[in-house]
């Protein structure tokens, strides 16, 4: 390296050759080395920016990551709803430069778990699912490779969590809606009917989950019956059938869950997974148990809390749900605002005022269609869909230890 630097400097400054060797002033060599060093640092910063702030210098790339503000509110009836709020999860450092930084890359996890037949499955999932997801992730990945591998690792983590919990012999089960936020990329995996919606700037509301209720989900009914399960309502004396569609044996209304050892192999733990990337205008996630969604549509939940900071927004969504339906079930809501780094608060416009007649019509419409699935993403340019996978057959392609 020293020879090439000397030769380059000699050529640039026209120095003499004595005895076949170039004689270069020390000042010229120092200047050349300084310039080479500056170029190396610049290249390092460019690589860091392209990698979204992973490894290398913590500076411009790191400040471009969004800010997260979140809040949670809940009203308990049975005590089987649980949630997870973590913003300091360390992503495994894999690039050679990342080991030199004192600020390891992190990601955030927000989850809602709605247990049934007891709280054991929900508690176990809350405490173990993230570790199983991370253990399913290959080692030595760049940030882009990490994001690309997340959907499959989430599937493997859900399946392993279910497998390990069932070895305990407990009959409890749980829904799980699990959102990982890494920079501007959101990856959501879910089983059951706890829902996650995205309210992007501009007012477009998108579903990032699918409700796994046999009553509403035709594809899941077909999957269960094709696997040999039976779908029907509860029969009472006299031959009458009541209540929602259920899977037999077991009588579970959901087609996917974690746990539920007593309902057979037709109820699977394979999650629906969706990964999207926000533009740098940001957005808001609302993750909630069915105590919210049985009372409010996705649009109604988003609109009722616009203009409020995350903590107050979560309380407002719960308040609206209870006002509409009362406390008939555990009711839990987590709100996460993904905010551009140059903003301190997210400038969402508050809901427009309605007259009483229009408000009643809107509420009736929302109540009549609480489970209508909105598959369209937000406005073009605000949200980019990266990955979507809903097939339970995906579990057959996984090796779960």
Q: Write the pLDDT tens digit of every residue in 213-254.
A: 999 999 999 999 998 889 999 988 777 888 999 999 889 999
Residue 208: Cβ-neighbour burial (10 angstroms; 0-12, 13-18, 19+): buried
Q: Look at residue 43 and tell me if it is in a domain.
A: no
Tokens matching residue 239: 């031959």
Would you tell me how many other CB atoms lie within 10 Å of the CB of residue 350? 10
**Tokens (6 digits) for 186:** 């959101």
Cβ-contact 223, 217 below 8 angstroms: no
pLDDT of residue 343: 75
The pLDDT confidence band at residue 380, using thresholds 50, 70 and 90, is low
Q: Is residue 317 part of a domain?
A: yes
Does any domain span residue 349? Answer: no
CATH (domain of 124): 3.60.40.10
Q: Of all residues in the chain, what percent carry a pLDDT higher than 70?
A: 69
Looking at the DSSP bridge assignments, the partners of residue 337 are: 69, 284
Instruction: Give the H/E segment covering residue 285.
Output: strand 283-288
Q: Count how many domains the chain has.
A: 1
What is d(CA 146, CA 135) in angstroms, rounded to the nearest whole number? 13
- Model confidence pLDDT, tens digit, residues 314-347: 999 999 999 998 998 999 999 999 999 887 554 4
User: Are 366 and 299 a contacting pair, CB within 8 Å?
Assistant: yes
Percentage of the chain beyond pLDDT 90 is: 56
- Which residues constitute the domain of residue 334? 67-92+104-343+384-400
Domain assignment of residue 334, yes or no: yes
Residue 396 CB partners (closer than 8 Å, separation 6+): none
- pLDDT score recorded for residue 339: 94
| Residue 97 resides in a domain | no
Q: Helix-strand-coil percent breakdown of the chain, rounded to 5?
A: 35, 25, 35
The first and second tokens of residue 39, run together, are 């170029």
- Note whether residue 373 is domain-resident: no
Q: 98 pLDDT exceeds 50?
A: no
If DSSP codes are grouped into helix, strand and coil, which group holds residue 18? Answer: strand
- Enter the pTM of the model: 0.76
């Amino acid at each position: 390296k020293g020879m090439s630097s000397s030769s380059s400097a000699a050529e640039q400054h026209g120095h003499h050759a004595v005895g076949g060797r170039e004689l270069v002033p020390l000042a010229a060599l120092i200047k050349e080395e300084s310039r080479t060093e500056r170029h190396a640092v610049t290249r390092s910063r460019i690589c860091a920016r392209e990698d979204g702030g992973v490894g290398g210098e913590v500076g411009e790339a790191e400040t471009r990551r969004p800010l997260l503000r979140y809040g949670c509110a809940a009203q308990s009836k049975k005590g089987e709803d649980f949630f997870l709020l973590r913003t300091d999860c360390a992503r495994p450092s894999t690039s050679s430069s990342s080991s030199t930084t004192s600020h390891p890359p992190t990601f955030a996890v927000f989850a809602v778990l709605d247990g049934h037949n007891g709280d054991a499955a929900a508690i176990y999932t809350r405490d173990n699912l993230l570790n199983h997801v991370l253990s399913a992730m290959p080692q030595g990945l760049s940030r882009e490779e990490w994001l690309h591998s997340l959907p499959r690792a989430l599937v493997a983590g859900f399946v392993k969590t279910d497998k390990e919990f069932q070895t305990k012999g407990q009959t409890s089960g749980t829904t799980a809606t699990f959102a990982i936020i890494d920079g501007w990329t959101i990856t959501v995996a879910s089983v059951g009917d706890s829902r996650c919606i995205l309210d992007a700037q501009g007012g477009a509301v998108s579903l990032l989950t699918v409700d796994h209720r046999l009553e509403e989900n035709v594809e899941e009914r077909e999957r269960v019956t094709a696997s040999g399960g039976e779908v029907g309502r509860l029969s009472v004396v006299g031959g009458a059938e009541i209540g929602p569609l259920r899977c037999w044996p077991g009588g579970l209304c959901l087609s996917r869950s974690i746990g539920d050892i007593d309902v057979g192999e037709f109820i699977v733990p394979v999650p629906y997974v969706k990964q999207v990337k926000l533009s740098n205008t940001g957005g808001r996630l609302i993750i909630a148990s069915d105590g919210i969604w049985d009372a409010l549509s996705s649009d109604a939940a988003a609109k009722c809390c616009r203009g409020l900071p995350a903590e107050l927004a979560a309380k407002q969504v719960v308040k609206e749900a209870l006002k509409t339906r009362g406390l008939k079930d555990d009711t839990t809501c987590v709100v996460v605002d993904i905010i551009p780094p140059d903003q301190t608060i997210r400038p969402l416009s508050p809901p427009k005022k309605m007259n009483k007649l229009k408000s009643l019509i809107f509420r009736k419409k929302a109540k009549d269609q609480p489970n209508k699935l909105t598959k369209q993403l937000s406005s073009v340019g605000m949200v980019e869909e990266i990955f979507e996978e809903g097939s339970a057959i995906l579990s057959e392609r996984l090796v779960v230890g």
